[in-house]
Amino acid sequence: MSDAPTYRGRFAPTPSGPLHFGSIVAALASWLAARSRNGQWWLRIEDLDRQRLRPDAESSILNTLEHLGLHWDGPMLRQSERLVHYQAALERLLREGLAYPCGCSRADLVEGCYPGTCRSGLPEGRQIRSWRFRVPDGEVTFIDRIRGELTIDVAHSSGDFVIKRADGYFAYHLAVVLDDALCGMTDIVRGADLIDSTPRHILLQQALGLPTPTYAHTPVVLGDDGRKLSKHLGAPPPVLSDPGTVLHDALSFLGQRPPAALRSAAPARVLAWASENWDEAVIPRLDQASERWH
Ligand code: GLU
């Protein structure tokens, strides 16, 4: 009998700054999705892009999760320690003709889509800058547990995408797909800002013979200016002084109805209520017609 978990999820922050309210919402949703199913919840630090790292961000993130009572299972992983897996996958894709070296830069994209200039070899005089995944023709359809069925034609929206960058770093898309599969993730819950990436991840999973987990993309928290909060800009919520209220607010944002009496309660009490009453069906979803969360 296999001892594979029936549910294993994760939170995968980039240590580019302290967690803001939007990243706490995503962490809480993935924690609750796991705990409400008696599943595991792992933590992975996505520290590949050294340019984006901020000193102390990792310790601040861990401290915030601990204050909120969002405890994780398994070993904490750091992507910077897993380069050997990414390199092996890149070599396999190259061997199988599913990836190729590319000499183009952003300036060569046409309306955000790579036109395939280096698909059948580098043009004369171009040097290798990056490596791209060869995207097959056709649409990718998947069911998002919050948004429902989504279909994207990757070949026409982004085209062949970078899996190892010109600056030498492995791209997020390759690393996330390998880590989720190698760590046995069954269910991914993350912010909807990443929803456009999911079809690319599914294509990479298929090319590498890896299983596709289920996906749920939680609504993005917008700042007063109507833009997504970012780790280095957003004001940090009062996690240290009042973690119960932060959890209460995050639950309300996710459409849950925590009792008012739990506001400011100890995190363990708020989380016990939330694990018991977690309901993915009431999470606000994007209205495709108006492109607004409601
Ligand atoms: N590292 C990404 C972020 O901090 C999340 C990646 C993921 O959950 O797949 O936004």
Ligand 1 atom with least separation from CA of 180: 9
pLDDT band at 237 (very low <50, low <70, confident <90, very high): confident
Range name among 105-109, 186-190, 238-242, 272-276 with the lowest pLDDT average: 238-242
Amino acid found at 50:
R
Spatial separation of the C-alpha atoms in residues 147 and 265, rounded to whole Å: 31
Could you tell me if the CB of 194 is within 6 A of ligand 1? Answer: yes
- Annotated catalytic residue within 190, 200, 231, 248: 231
Give the per-residue pLDDT at 223. 73
Query: 108 near 115, Cβ under 8 Å?
Result: yes
Give the per-residue pLDDT at 221. 87
Could you tell me if the CB of 14 is within 6 A of ligand 1? Answer: yes
Q: Residues 239-263: what's their mean pLDDT?
A: 94
Q: In the predicted model, is pLDDT for residue 247 greater than 50?
A: yes
Give the per-residue pLDDT at 116. 97
DSSP-derived 3-state class of residue 54: coil
More confident residue, 46 or 222: 46
Q: In the predicted model, is pLDDT for residue 194 greater than 90?
A: yes
Ligand 1 atom with least separation from CA of 190: 8
122 CA distance to ligand 1 middle (Å): 32
Phi and psi at residue 188, to the nearest 5°? -105, 125
Alpha helices in the chain (DSSP H): 21-35, 57-68, 83-95, 154-157, 172-182, 198-207, 243-253, 267-277
Ligand 1 atom with least separation from CA of 231: 4
173 CA distance to ligand 1 middle (Å): 10
Give the per-residue pLDDT at 236. 72
Could you tell me if the CB of 27 is within 6 A of ligand 1? Answer: no
Tell me which DSSP letter residue 113 carries. B
Q: In the predicted model, is pLDDT for residue 123 greater than 90?
A: yes
Name the β-bridge partners of 162: 132
Ligand 1 atom with least separation from CA of 176: 9
More confident residue, 50 or 235: 50
Q: Residues 257-283: what's their mean pLDDT?
A: 96
More confident residue, 232 or 54: 54
Q: Residues 258-266: what's their mean pLDDT?
A: 94
Of the candidates 110, 109, 156, which has an alpha carbon nearest to the alpha carbon of residue 136?
A: 156
Percentage of the chain exceeding pLDDT 90: 86
235 CA distance to ligand 1 middle (Å): 19
Instruction: Confirm whether 164 is a catalytic residue.
Output: no
Q: Residues 77-99: what's their mean pLDDT?
A: 98
Give the per-residue pLDDT at 1. 47
Residue-averaged pLDDT of the chain: 92
User: What's the pLDDT tens digit per position in 154-187?
Assistant: 999 999 999 999 999 999 999 999 999 999 999 9
Spatial separation of the C-alpha atoms in residues 274 and 266, rounded to whole Å: 13
Give the per-residue pLDDT at 235. 63
Nearest protein CA to atom 7 of ligand 1, as residue: 12
Q: Residues 42-60: what's their mean pLDDT?
A: 96
